[in-house]
């Protein structure tokens, strides 16, 4: 009975979601009595997860259990929750250790296993991996361009009264915001408040070029490489099918040609005999 319960993925997923709700409620000021009740429930969930891990280890074996990436993730998150669990059991006040419990919520990602029932999911995952490998250098080049543009913008605008480019880190973040083409005009508008018309013109021109090169052409290039690599595997398979079809057609045509030649030879022999 115990195995049937703790080997049921739906039951475990329900526990994960309920534990997430408890953690959410613990973030509110519910009073000492309610907070203590929620803490008890939270630690009960931790106990359930520990029992689940032990049941699976006993059922499948320790070594086979850790051959699964999902089980390794589960074990890691349970271990991260142990300090807070032990602190509660032993009545020890460990500062901030309770926040380790939040990591256990990551177990909810086990629900992604339902993607395995999607038709051709393995083919899709393989396509994503191939696209990531093909676009890694384009992404690296794009990141380098962001870095160079961010540092350049810092040296150009760091004396401005705004905080957008006051230091290299903020400058990189502001540059990334501009590349997303979302509210990019707010930054130059803020910077040019105290500029002359000439300074404002060249500042606007600078940011327009950044948006065009990085935000439009750069992102479009990375996206197109990723998408093209994603579907290239489908194209390769289609090309292989076409090649196999052409080979079969060639075989059929060759067989028809040989049959016709044999028929003509037979007819010739019959005519000569007559």
The C-alpha atoms of residue 30 and residue 50 are separated, in whole angstroms, by: 28
Look at residue 122 in the predicted model and tell me its pLDDT: 65
The C-alpha atoms of residue 222 and residue 135 are separated, in whole angstroms, by: 7
Look at residue 30 in the predicted model and tell me its pLDDT: 63
Cα 89 to its chain centre, rounded Å, is 37
The C-alpha atoms of residue 186 and residue 176 are separated, in whole angstroms, by: 14
Look at residue 52 in the predicted model and tell me its pLDDT: 86
**Structural domains of the chain in order of their starting residue, each with its CATH number:** 2-116 (1.20.120), 122-263 (1.10.287.70)
Look at residue 46 in the predicted model and tell me its pLDDT: 83
Look at residue 267 in the predicted model and tell me its pLDDT: 61
Look at residue 271 in the predicted model and tell me its pLDDT: 62
Contacts for 38 with CB less than 8 Å, ≥ 6 apart? 22, 25, 26, 30
Q: Which tokens belong to 49?
A: 């997860």
Look at residue 222 in the predicted model and tell me its pLDDT: 77
The residue whose two tokens read 């400058």 is 171
Report whether 223 contacts 180 (CB < 8 A).
no
For the whole prediction, is pTM greater than 0.75? no
Name the H helices within the chain: 2-6, 9-26, 32-60, 62-65, 69-89, 121-157, 168-179, 186-191, 197-210, 219-273
Q: Which among 22, 33, 135, 141 has a CA at the least distance from the CA of 84?
A: 22
DSSP state of 218: I
Report whether 226 contacts 191 (CB < 8 A).
no
The residue whose two tokens read 């105290």 is 194
Look at residue 230 in the predicted model and tell me its pLDDT: 66
Instruction: Classify residue 56 by burial, with Cβ atoms within 10 Å: 0-12, 13-18, 19+.
Output: buried
Q: Which among 132, 129, 141, 149 has a CA at the least distance from the CA of 219?
A: 141
Q: Which helix (H) or strand (E) holds 100?
A: none
Which stretches in the chain have pLDDT values below 70?
A: 1, 29-31, 92-123, 125, 183, 229-239, 260-274
């Amino acid at each position: 009975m115990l195995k049937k319960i703790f080997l049921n993925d739906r039951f475990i997923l329900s526990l994960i979601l309920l534990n997430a709700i408890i953690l959410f409620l613990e973030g509110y000021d519910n009073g000492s009595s309610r907070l203590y009740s929620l803490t008890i429930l939270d630690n009960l969930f931790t106990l359930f997860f520990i029992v689940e891990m032990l049941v699976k280890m006993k059922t499948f074996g320790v070594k086979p259990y850790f051959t699964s990436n999902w089980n390794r993730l589960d074990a890691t998150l349970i271990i991260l929750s142990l300090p807070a669990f032990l602190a509660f059991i032993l009545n020890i006040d460990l500062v901030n250790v309770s926040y380790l419990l939040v990591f256990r919520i990551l177990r909810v990602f086990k629900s992604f296993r339902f993607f395995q029932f999607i038709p051709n999911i393995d083919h899709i995952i393989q396509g994503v991996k191939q696209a990531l490998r093909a676009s890694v250098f384009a992404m690296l080049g794009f990141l380098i361009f962001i870095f160079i543009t961010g540092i350049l913008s810092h040296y150009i605008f760091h004396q401005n009264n705004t905080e957008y480019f006051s230091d290299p880190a903020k400058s990189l973040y502001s540059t990334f915001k501009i590349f997303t083409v979302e509210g990019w005009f707010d930054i130059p508008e803020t910077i040019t408040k105290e500029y002359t018309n000439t300074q404002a013109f060249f500042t606007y021109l600078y940011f327009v070029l950044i948006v065009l090169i990085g935000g439009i052409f750069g992102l479009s290039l990375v996206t197109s490489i990723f998408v093209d690599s994603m579907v290239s595997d489908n194209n390769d398979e289609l090309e292989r099918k076409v090649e196999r079809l052409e080979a079969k057609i060639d075989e059929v045509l060759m067989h028809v040609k040989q049959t016709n030649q044999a028929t003509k030879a037979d007819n010739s022999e019959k005519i000569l005999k007559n």
